Structure 1
């Protein structure tokens, strides 16, 4: 998500990253992830092989803002639509689909994998980042 206004969250320490994206073909991007031994789960593989997943041939930068659902004002959780509407109200935008792999390449020390905890099964691993982007299906 892109943040236009520095004062949107004045009382909240938030993660802001500038991410360089673009400049690689889809094949080159996948190869680069393999070179860094980045594991891709089934959903990631589906995204990368989907024809709607495209990459920009030109490099560009964007800022991301890391927030929890609670940071958006939903203490008890929310639907994806509610989250997207609230983010839009705060001046945030959906991320391009290609951000995920580029962010992962720039965050090589991200905790990765299943922890072995049966209660965490079918959930994102601790330390993972969910990216708000266009929903394909």
Structure 2
């Protein structure tokens, strides 16, 4: 399977900031965060800082991975690996948020359904920092009402991601 040439791709700079400096940069850009995003940052497993590097990212929908009826994250990860896509380091999402400032507004008029990704959101796929079901699994980016967001989310391995959900991987 090959991806459409128009599949969104980005090259981002990762690292070079301490955790504190990264949070300050997000605040300076007026990026909003929910309590789960803050919980991810506060976890001891979240990197304190890393050397600068460049990552190539690509966004695909669950359907583009071959799951027209949706899929669980274990199914998504297995298929993504077969296609040469890898999970992102957990610190990717905050750096991506700082560099992806022109994200389109989420679909207007579509209500968010509890337990589903909001319309227009991009979930940055990464390995969870903790196995606990009570701890957030990762981050997603969205723009709503003109505000840029970096949000954490919770899910388990049985959660079915919708065919239209946008997922970001290292390519």
> TM-score, with normalisation over the residues of structure 1?
0.83
CA contact (8 A) 1:55 1:98 kept: no
Corresponding residue pairs, total: 129
Runs of 4+ in 1 over 4 A off after TM superposition: none
Mean Cα deviation higher: 10-19 or 25-34: 10-19
1:99 corresponds in structure 2 to 92
Paired residue for 1:80, among 73, 83, 88? 73
RMSD: 2.2
- Structure 2 residue runs of 5 or longer lacking an equivalent are 132-171
Provide the TM-score with structure 2 as the length reference.
Answer: 0.67
Query: Which has the larger share of helix?
Result: 1
More strand by share: 2
Counterpart check, 1:14 vs 2:3: no
Pick the aligned partner of 1:59 from 52, 63, 72: 52
In structure 1, list runs of 5 or more residues that go unmatched: 1-7
Residue 58 of structure 1 aligns to a residue whose secondary structure is: coil
